[in-house]
Amino acid sequence: MAAGIPGQRLLRLAQERRISFAVSESTARTLSKAGASTELINDLRKLKGQRESRPCSMQLAQAATFVHQQNYDDAEAIIRKLLTATPDNADLHLALGYIRLQQGDLDEAFDGYADAKDLNPEFPEIHNGLAYIFYRSNDAENAIAEARTALSIDPQNAEGYRYLGLGLYVNDNYPAALHVLQESLAREPNCADTYYDIGQVQMAEKNLAAAAESYKTAIRLNPGLIEAQSGLRLVLRELEQAQATLDQHQKSQTESTTPR
């Protein structure tokens, strides 16, 4: 959770690794503060596995809570302290990369994900993070490569498809981008960010009506998604301008054919 991994994916990781959780009321409160939904907490209670989860340190739980509150400076301070004690912990490097990404520092975010990759190259979320950083850097080739690596490890990874779609979008391959973004939605149907990404691709294709619907769905799923709100305002303005141009053209045509 401190590394920004979605709850649905966290549940599947626990299922795949056959980890069971003893979720007491105290643990449930801790998870809730860190952003876990009631549904996720209830699903964790139902897990039956071959091994019990290790208790989470209160420091790491606090870091996850800070991340949920978007208090990234305090979250980073905790993660760096934990890394001092366990520098070979790939998960902590992953969390640090995510936190630095949220702070807007792509270079340090890359370093965090790269360090995690060196320690655990088989964890797809690490490759997802690198794919997103490459996308943000307009490096389509490496974004696509990292996303494909994530999907080769876990073909059901919704984020892997999303970041592959973003890489293809940067590469101006809009039909392929839309296809893989739909693959992402097939695995995580309520992801507002993916609907926003689809809207961006549709805007690039000048499919304004479809883009408007995608932005509206993104806002319905996440009313606080400012990017989708901005995208919707832009596309509605363009639709209004297009309609005004069409109306003016039809008016001119009518006037030119009317007998005097």
Can you tell me the mean pLDDT for 72-94? 96
The DSSP symbol for 19 reads E
At 256 the pLDDT is 65
At 74 the pLDDT is 97
pLDDT tens-place string over residues 139-198: 999 999 999 999 999 999 999 999 999 999 999 999 999 999 999 999 999 999 999 999
Share the mean pLDDT of the chain: 92
Residue 202: CB atoms within 10 A of its CB come to 23
pLDDT at 244 over 80: no
pLDDT tens-place string over residues 183-222: 999 999 999 999 999 999 999 999 999 999 999 999 999 9
CA-only gyration radius of the chain, Å = 22
Contact 69, 62 (CB under 8 A): no
The DSSP symbol for 48 reads -
Per-residue pLDDT band at 255 (split at 50, 70, 90): low
Per-residue pLDDT band at 55 (split at 50, 70, 90): confident
Region label for 259, one of left (φ > 0), alpha (ψ between -120 and 50) or beta (otherwise): beta
Name the burial class of residue 74, with classes exposed (0-12), middle (13-18) and buried (19+) by CB atoms within 10 angstroms of its CB: middle
DSSP secondary structure string for all residues of 117-168: HHH-TT-HHHHHHHHHHHHHTT-HHHHHHHHHHHHHH-TT-HHHHHHHHHHH
Task: Sketch out the chain's domains with CATH numbers.
Answer: 190-250 (1.25.40)
Single out the residue of 3, 76, 67 nearest to residue 33, CA to CA. Answer: 67
